[in-house]
A = this chain, B = another copy of it.
């Protein structure tokens, strides 16, 4: 596919992402996406077979872009804490900007269509954080004790705040609390189960 095709696919993903965020996965049809993009039915189906294909590509693209960014920053020898804070900035924006968040659609998708996508994203996310942790430990910035436990907190506290912020009014302070606790855990370590 040429450059023009790639541009069209990207435009489709962007328009579809806004619809998914607004209505959830199952309520968005290929017809809705035709209307939002201004493409004909044939024009849309030339690029994507169904909404699931678009949905999956949106997430896989975001994950890959984010991983590439972190790996590049590590290669540039940026301090791990700085990279962490950049990541936290994205996460906090998403937590507070819940209307555009795809947290509920991905949960719905995992519940109703396939859990494979989320399993894959979760695994990729985990590995990405592991690389950043190992880098921070190697630089003496993070304590090693149990970075795996901190990753659990990073991933699931984020999910909890994101999902609930679509429904109830979570104060902005919650996103700050999240960042501060994660930094604290990395600087002081987190006890392993064996040392209780």
Copies, count: 2
Interface membership of A84, Cβ < 8 A: no
Please give, as numbers and ranges, the residues of chain B lying within 8 Å of A177 by CB-CB distance.
146, 148-150, 152-153, 190, 193
- A160 in contact with B155 (CB, 8 Å): yes
Q: On chain A, which size bracket covers the interface?
A: 35 or more
Q: Is A161 an interface residue (CB 8 A)?
A: yes
Residues of B within 8 A of A110 (CB): 167-168
Interface CB pairs A-B, < 8 A, 20: A104-B111, A107-B163, A107-B167, A110-B167, A111-B167, A122-B168, A146-B180, A149-B180, A149-B181, A152-B157, A153-B157, A153-B178, A156-B157, A156-B164, A159-B159, A180-B193, A181-B185, A184-B188, A184-B190, A185-B185
Choose from B148, B149, B160, B183 the contact partner of A163 (Cβ within 8 Å): B160
The closest CB in chain B to the CB of A109 belongs to B167
